[in-house]
Structure 1
Amino acid sequence: MSFVAVLVGRWFVTKKGLVTGILTAAGATGQLIFLPMVGYLATVAGWRVPALVVAAGALVMIPLVLAAVRDHPHRLGLEAYGASPENPTPPEPVRTGNAVAVALGTLREAAGTRTFWLLAGGFAICGASTNGLVGTHFVPAAHDHGMPLTTAASLLALVGLFDVVGTIASGWLTDRIDPRYLLVTYYALRGLSLMVLPQLLAPNVEPSMWVFIIFYGLDWIATVPPTVALCQRHFGGRGAMVFGWVFASHQIGAAIAATGAGVIRDINGEYDLAWLIAGGLCLLAAVLSFLIPRRLTPAVPRPVVEVPS
């Protein structure tokens, strides 16, 4: 076990992109587990029962987090994974000041840079094209074409399965390739695949649909590791906090797409226009990613902390 801990620690220290990919891919595991069950419950019991089941699952996590998760390894009498006598675990800082003020101050300073808006714009489109559109509307769109709900939900769960592979691979690539180029590739290929999707939906699952599910799964949230890396590269000590604001744009984009696609479906009676718009936006996100400066912008300074001696 100690060997595994040291190995994981060295990955975290030297291969941050890979570890970010592994942690991000864990979210897809929940999709893989829950979606078929949610689809079945929605079919036999209506939408309220699966909503309550998911809410109950979230509530179960609260005592587990309170009991098991700590902010610093010293609180458990441990050293950080990868720590050594030459590179010991830094002491836990005592943070002062209002957390909300620090977060808003970080946003204000980051928002004064071109890089922040390019990252936020691309990630908003990422949320629109994944959680907002495919995650919310793929099942009803497939059902519009005669596909059973449980079959469509199972296909969406498979997206989560392949996402585990794709996001881990993306983390590995992020440690070796310019993250900007990875984002350009991911967004461009995602956009093209969404433009093709209306021709693939049918009552039965054809081989072309399997190709889409595999590809889209590999690309689903592969954008996270390179986006995190770019936030760290350009904003230094506050990279994590800046990524939090960039991720907020992801959720805003998802909300807009979820609503907009529903409106398009109500007006046109089909989702085709929604897929095409999302595909075009993904191509725009590829352009935004390409425009992220290569030169590092001045890092947003770390918040003032007091470290006990």
Structure 2
Amino acid sequence: MSAHQEDTRFSKNLIYMLIGSAFILALSLGIRHGFGLYLVPISHEFGWSHQVFSLAIAMQNLLWGAVQPFTGALADKYGSKIVVTVGGVLYTLGLLLMSVSSSVWLLDLSVGLIIGFALSATSFSVLLSAVGRAAHPSKRSMAMGIASAAGSFGQFIMLPTTLLMLKSVGWSSALVISAMLVAFIVPLAWMLKTPKSGTANTIVSTIKPAISFKQILKIAFNHRPFLWLALGFLVCGFQVVFLGIHLPGYLIDHGFDATTGTIFLALVGLFNIVGTFAAGYLGDKYSKPHLLMGLYGLRGITIIAFLALPLSTWTVYAFGTIMGVLWLSTVPLTNGIVANMFGVKYLTMLSGIVFFTHQIGSFFGGWLGGLNHDMTGNYNIIWACSIVLSFVGVLVHYFVNEESIVDD
């Protein structure tokens, strides 16, 4: 087989890794995206304000992001397989503990602390970096887009499943069942094989060993496009967590039942499959920063249209469909830019640094949404922030380029 032929198709090793990553992301992110459905039943049972549950989720997102660079460094050094295995065990434990959380501190410990750690090991930064190493540069964005789409499929499947469990067995038993499903991450982690040497898709073997861990950090933090990219990802985190956690409650406030919010989130998951795959495909052909500018701009326009139009079931579903296409399409593009800038030797760690800013945004999107609701009875301030941040996302990516500054 010629080098050109090898470049234009996926290797068997990459396909095997894509399958494992797809199932892990589907489980990890699918169950995590359903947490917003627990806000109302748990809060009502214990008489908590929305801010209590929102703060626990906000803590989860912040800790997830803060730990991500360190989890990434461990994955870079010891391999994704070990890190994901540990994450799967912690995730299972966290869900089981959450199922018996009758006090605020126990809720914070389970859904905030333990699951925050677990998500840092079982989500995009670790999994997409593993895929990025196995893929040839010419197919890297496409491979990351395929893996990202799997997480969206998990959201599409798990959201109606979670609602069904909540209605039939209650929130505590639903969490126990979710823990049993998440436990499958442990055996699936063993599909994350390190790329074999000698193949055209093996990027790790071609990396020059001269650049040390400390040197790459210094280069990254002095590279302004990298810093602008990280700032742009903060916008993504704020918006997706605000909508994922609070839109079901927003709809209940306006007279809709829980099913409407669940269908909204399921539509987001379904159409994000299209969005992430398309982003990965287009990212191999066009400027990734320009694509990100378009994505954030369209998000702002879509939110404005949703708020301006009369609220109905059909506008909710249309909003879910369009936001789904735009939802996590940023992920393969952002990680692809990091890989192009710095190569893949330290990709997991560097992607984790960028992801930390995403999670800072997630913290404020989740927590301030609940705080705004408790203080005013609505989400008006956070909606306005989401719109302004969309256009901040457009602006900052104007200063981002994906030129390589480290030999891959």
TM-score (norm. length: structure 2): 0.61
8 Å contact 1:194–1:276 — kept in the other structure? Answer: no
Alignment check: 8 A CA contact 2:195 2:202 kept: no
> Quick one: structure 1 residues 192 and 281, their matched pair in 2 at CA, closer, same or farther if it must change by over 3 Å?
same
Partner of residue 117 from structure 1, selected from 227, 241, 244? 227
Q: Can you give the 5+ residue segments of structure 1 that lack an aligned partner in the other structure?
A: 303-309
In structure 1, which of residues 223, 233, 247 is the aligned counterpart of residue 340 of structure 2?
233
Of the three residues 153, 174, 192, the one matched with 1:69 is 192
Is the Cα–Cα contact under 8 Å of residues 11 and 201 in structure 2 kept in the other structure?
A: no
Measure, in 2, the Cα distance between the counterparts of 1:232 and 1:90. Answer: 11
TM alignment of 1:119-198, pairs within 5 A: 119-130=229-240, 132-198=241-307
The DSSP-based 3-state class of the residue aligned with 1:47 is: helix
The 1:19/1:89 distance shift into structure 2, 3 A limit, reads closer
Give the residue type in structure 1 aligned to 2:193.
R
8 Å Cα contact 2:292/2:333 also seen in 1: yes
In structure 1, how many angstroms separate the alpha carbons of the residues matched to 2:374 and 2:233?
27
Q: Distance in 1 between matches of 2:287 and 2:203?
A: 29
1:285 aligns with 2:393: yes
Corresponding residue for 1:242?
350
Rounded Cα–Cα distance in structure 2 between residues aligned with 1:18 and 1:90: 16
CA distance in 2 between partners of 1:88 and 1:275 (Å): 44
CA distance in 2, matches of 1:29, 1:22: 11
- Residue in 1 aligned with 2:180? 56
Whole-angstrom CA distance in 2 between matches of 1:233 and 1:91: 14
Q: Tell me the C-alpha RMSD between the 2 structures.
A: 3.2
**SS of aligned partner of 2:183:** helix
CA spacing shift, 1:174–1:55, aligned 2, 3 Å: same
1:90 Cα deviation after fit: 6.9
Q: CA deviation at 1:188?
A: 0.8
In structure 2, C-alpha distance between the alignment counterparts of 1:62 and 1:221, rounded to whole Å: 25
In structure 2, the gaps of 5 or more residues are 15-134
Q: Give the whole-Å Cα distance in 2 for the aligned partners of 1:280 and 1:90.
A: 39
Residue identity opposite 1:127 in structure 2: G
Contact 1:17 1:229 in 2 (8 A): yes
* Correspondence for 2:328: 221
- Aligned partner letter, 2:142: L
Greater helix fraction, Structure 1 or Structure 2 = 2
Task: Report the alpha carbon displacement of residue 133 of structure 1 after superposing the two structures with TM.
Answer: 0.9
Q: What TM-score do you get using the length of structure 1 for normalisation?
A: 0.79
Q: Structure 1 90/194 Cα, relative in aligned 2: closer, same or farther at 3 Å?
A: closer
8 Å contact kept, 1:36–1:153? yes
Residues 1:64 and 1:152: Cα distance change in structure 2 (over 3 Å): same
